[in-house]
Amino acid sequence: MIGKNIKIFKELDSTNNFVKLNVSNIEDGTIIIAERQTKGRGLRENSWESDFGNLYFSFVLKNDIFRINIFKYIVQSSVAIIRTLNNFGINGVIKYPNDCLVNSKKISGILIESLGSKSLEYIVVGIGLNVNQVEFNELKEKATSIKLSSNKEISTIEVLNEFVASYNEVLESSFEQVFAEYLEKSIVIKKRISCKGKDYIISDIEKNGTIIIRNELSQKRVAYNEISLKELY
């Protein structure tokens, strides 16, 4: 269960960094929120724009950690985000592996990091969800928010509460059921992808995140971290 403890900071460099630095003093499932981040981080060393008005949070998972394959945590978080958006009347989809889009624009991103040695393993799940931002400047064509998608201004804490309820529901369901929902909301099946200079179609996603790609000549299995998201379109 997550969200039993919630700590809100006005400003942090990055909620993921905070959790990683203080992991031994933070209980399993505790949520760390920053109203603003000065060094918000995204995937592949990208920065994550983190001004006031959106939701930036991380939580730590310490029990039953399965670090060999973090795809399970990506699936659970993505489905919880889709359910959260649904509760605000917004129909989101998942761009494999871990972006949620609304009207083809990104509304949230997930950065999962693992740390620890074999005997002490943690997963840090960091989520950025655009809530009340309406100006995206150079990201105008690529990013959206709850406010832009629904015309409603909602407090970030209300959105967080919905996420916590959705995520805890997801944890109660079987992974098979949650994975089926992930697939149903995924927009990459049948999309074209280029891998090592050759063109393929994505034909399936497996439970461990491996995707099956094929063309007239061959079929291949590719791990989710072996391809770049940019290649998906």
- Identify which range of 87-95, 126-134, 184-192, 214-222 contacts ligand BTN by CB under 6 A: 126-134
State the nearest-atom distance from the C-beta of 99 to ligand BTN, in Å: 6
Q: Determine the Cα–Cα distance for residues 177 and 128; give it in Å rounded to an integer.
A: 25
Among 14, 77, 84, 132, binds ligand BTN (CB under 6 A): 14
The secondary structure of residue 229, as a DSSP letter, is G
Among 5, 22, 38, 46, binds ligand BTN (CB under 6 A): 46
- Identify which range of 66-74, 89-97, 105-113, 131-139 contacts ligand BTN by CB under 6 A: 105-113
User: Which is closer to ligand BTN, CB of 29 or CB of 200?
Assistant: 29
Q: Determine the Cα–Cα distance for residues 121 and 114; give it in Å rounded to an integer.
A: 7
Q: Within 13 Å and on the Cβ side, how many CA atoms surround 3?
A: 13
Count of residues making up the chain = 233
128 in contact with ligand BTN (CB under 6 A) = yes
Residues contacting residue 123 through CB under 8 Å, at least 6 positions apart? 60, 61, 65, 67, 70, 73, 112, 113, 114
Binding site for ligand BTN (CB under 6 A): 14-16, 37, 40-43, 46, 48, 56-58, 99, 109-111, 126-128
